[in-house]
Amino acid sequence: MSCIHWGGLMHWLSRFLIVVLLFASADVNATSLEKTTLAEKVELLFAPGRDLADVKLAVDAIANPATDVVAGRKAIDDMTSGLQQMAVGSRTSLEKLTVLRRFVYESGTWNDYRPFAYDMADPLGKNPVNRQMAKYISSRLGNCVTMPQLIMILGQRIGLDMTLSLAPLHSFVKFTDDDGRQWNLEATSGAGFTRDLWYRKNLPMSDKAVSSGIYLRALSREETVAAIASTLVSEFLNNGRPEDAIAVSQVILRHFPDFAMVKVQVGSAYFQILNRDIISRYQKLSDMPPEIRVYADALYQQNLSAFAQAEALGWTERDGLNEGE
């Protein structure tokens, strides 16, 4: 970087909002032990056979240590017991799905006449509290984070083949019936059948994003765990903890290398670091020591590389960015 004023660089960065770099500094090394501990907690989420309800509650506990995991597990187990009783006599997957929809979305004794509904005040779950499963179960108001996760968890517990799928700033359920046919279930709307075309119309995405599989594809179990864990990245970004966001993302991306949105979030975490350590301290390049200029140039070059990687998967700026970015 030669005679570029910081104002120009900040304008360029604000356009893309993506900065990913290989960051090796004393500040990061000083907290490496803390990050390793956090990374280990996230890695444990991917243990083979771990119940997905347990995964979700563990994620909530990492985000908020005050989370009552035992109470949360009991609430989901109690729901499972009630659902299993209702599903007695249901033989086909479609019959079981009908019972599941009724159990969650219709008012009755099985849910104390308090069916679950879409929280129109926070549909994306931007408020971290609303991303907690315990809050969803107690309030009965959910979003596109908690609603598909609960449907998937309960559905799996009565033998349904369900997993998550992604769209820009959205997740939903992929359901495979007894004949091997795959259906989209929109959990924010009664788990109704929803065509790919609907998602493409209402949540615009590139053809490349669909063909590469970052959107509208049924996720593997490992990728589903990664999707559940990804809310931690937003949590740490919102709280101004970019190093923690990066530590979590590195684990997630080992298990889900093409998780485009997490790549973007990692870039945003590094933008927070750049703004905190460089842009806020130096008004122009002439104010910076030579070694800081080298560091700033490295940030710029890594930004270009990261943006190219995201685009290669079909991610575009219109896909939007999560909160905290």
Encode the chain (325 residues) as per-residue pLDDT tens digits.
333 333 344 333 433 333 333 333 334 443 444 555 899 999 999 999 999 999 999 999 999 999 999 999 999 999 999 999 999 999 999 999 999 999 999 999 999 999 999 999 999 888 999 999 999 999 999 999 999 999 999 999 999 999 999 999 999 999 999 999 999 999 999 999 999 999 999 999 999 999 999 999 999 999 999 999 999 999 999 999 999 999 999 999 999 999 999 998 888 888 888 888 888 888 887 888 999 988 877 877 767 777 778 889 999 988 865 443 3
Residue 325, domain member (yes or no): no
pLDDT on residue 35: 54
Q: Which residue has the tokens 């990050």?
A: 35
Number of domains in the chain: 1
Three-class secondary structure of residue 151 per DSSP: helix
Residue 235, domain member (yes or no): yes
Residue 125, domain member (yes or no): yes
Residue 310, domain member (yes or no): yes
Which own/partner pairs from 273-278 qualify as long-range (CB within 8 Å, at least 24 positions apart)?
273/19, 273/23, 273/242, 273/243, 274/13, 274/19, 274/299, 276/242, 277/27
Q: Are 210 and 314 in contact (CB under 8 A)?
A: yes
Q: Are 68 and 151 in contact (CB under 8 A)?
A: no
Q: Are 86 and 110 in contact (CB under 8 A)?
A: yes
What is the span of the domain harbouring residue 104? 6-319
Backbone angles phi, psi at 193, to 5 degrees: -65, 135
Residue 121, domain member (yes or no): yes
* Helix, strand, coil fractions of the chain, as percent rounded to 5: 60, 10, 35
Write down the pTM of the prediction: 0.86
pLDDT on residue 266: 87
Residue 234, domain member (yes or no): yes
Backbone angles phi, psi at 247, to 5 degrees: -60, -45
Q: Are 96 and 154 in contact (CB under 8 A)?
A: no
Cα–Cα distance for residue pair 256/278, rounded to 1 Å? 31
